Amino acid sequence: MKSSKNYEVIIIGGSYAGLSAALALGRSLRHVLIIDSGMRCNRQTPHAHNFLTQDGEAPGAIAEKARQEVLKYETLEWIDDLAVSGSKTENGFVISTQQGAEFNSQKLLFASGIKDIMPEIPGFAACWGISVVHCPYCHGYEFRNQRTAILANGPRAFHLASLVSNLSKEVSILTMGKANFSETERERLNRQHIEIIEEKLAEIVHENGHVKYLSFKDGGEKTFGAVYAAPEFVQSSDIPVALGCELTEPGFLKVNNMQATTVPGVYACGDNSGMLRSIANAVYSGNLAGAVLNKELTEEQF
């Protein structure tokens, strides 16, 4: 299946960031194709929080409501597919998909998110987004006053511990090996009665994703209600890098304050290009990218 249709913009990723950009572009009568593979990063989470008007709603319900709202605009098209490669053409770009389609566009917007790499700790993946969480703003209130573990070391662990200490008075940092804190950091953690456990974790014992207790390699066990973790991640799509887009040191797509990547005509928004990982930020950056793309197309055509 090949398409001769030339879109003004192809958006890769039809979750919160991509749909937010599509809304701005659809309302400007731009011809846009959204390609989405249906793998939102929060798909295992029962409730999303900290997003105004939708606090506590299921993440899938928010995405579906957004999709229905956005696809009312007649110049927007959607396909369920995976974009597998992309290259530059004389007038823009061509994107190929897993189902064998090929689509052309003048501009590209990557709203493709990031892929969390689950550590090889039994129970971790099953609890991810349910009781093993990434962010106190999204899930901290629900676990307030519960015994809480922070699975991290160094500055990341210190930062999370400082935020979580306002939500629970029983906080332990699990460093999975030698703790890496300065003397001052240790003093401040001690002052807050935050325990540091260096013993390696053997398993997160859970029931349907809800942590019951943690078991350690030395045979010890400890009960916790919640675990914070910051797993390693990779870009969900490797097309931007193949096109020449630069990454930042932590692995995000490098964008300027207008969501433009380092390759002309290629934009990025949402989790793939920003450290502030929230639906609100994905919607914000998508909205900005949509407006900037429309402005760029206008300047080229007007």
Q: Which residues bind ligand FAD (CB under 6 A)?
A: 12-18, 35-42, 45, 48-51, 82-83, 111-113, 116, 128-129, 134, 138, 236-237, 270-271, 277-280, 282
Return the number of the residue (128 or 267) whose C-beta is nearest ligand FAD. 128
Nearest residue to ligand FAD by CB is 270
Q: Shortest distance, CB of residue 282 to ligand FAD, whole angstroms? A: 3
16-26 and 59-70 helices, crossing angle to 10°: 20
N- to C-terminal Cα separation, the chain = 34
Amino acid at 291: A
In the complex with ligand FAD, the residue whose CB is nearer, 131 or 197, is: 131
Q: Which is nearer to ligand FAD, 47 or 147 (by Cβ)?
A: 47
Contact 49, 141 (CB under 8 A): yes
Residue with Cβ nearer ligand FAD (141 or 213): 141
Q: Which is nearer to ligand FAD, 265 or 270 (CB)?
A: 270
Q: How far is the CB of 145 from ligand FAD (least distance, A)?
A: 19
CB of 20 to ligand FAD, least distance (A): 8
**Would you say the C-alpha torsion 67, 113, 167, 124 has a positive or negative sign?**
positive
Structure tokens of 164? 């979580």
Q: Quick one: 143 or 181, whose CB is closer to ligand FAD?
A: 143
The least distance separating ligand FAD from the CB of residue 79, rounded to whole angstroms, comes to 9
Question: Which among 153, 120, 117 has a CA at the least distance from the CA of 228?
Answer: 153
- Nearer Cβ to ligand FAD, position 16 or 228? 16
How does DSSP assign 202-260, residue by residue?
Answer: EEEEEETTEEEEEEETTS-EEE-SEEEE---EEES-SHHHHHT--B-TTSPBP--TTSB
79: three-class secondary structure by DSSP: strand
CB of 151 to ligand FAD, least distance (A): 14
Torsion of CA 131, 133, 138, 140, to 10 degrees: 60
The smaller minimum CB distance to ligand FAD, of residues 111 and 189, is found at 111
For residue 220, the one-letter residue type is G
Task: Report the SS3 class of residue 286.
Answer: helix
Q: For 91, how many CA atoms within 13 A lie in the half-sphere containing its CB?
A: 10
Q: How far is the CB of 76 from ligand FAD (least distance, A)?
A: 15
Which is nearest to 83 in space by CA: 105, 98, 93? 98
CB of 187 to ligand FAD, least distance (A): 33
3-class secondary-structure state, position 94: strand
Kindly state the smallest distance separating residue 257's Cβ from ligand FAD, in Å.
17
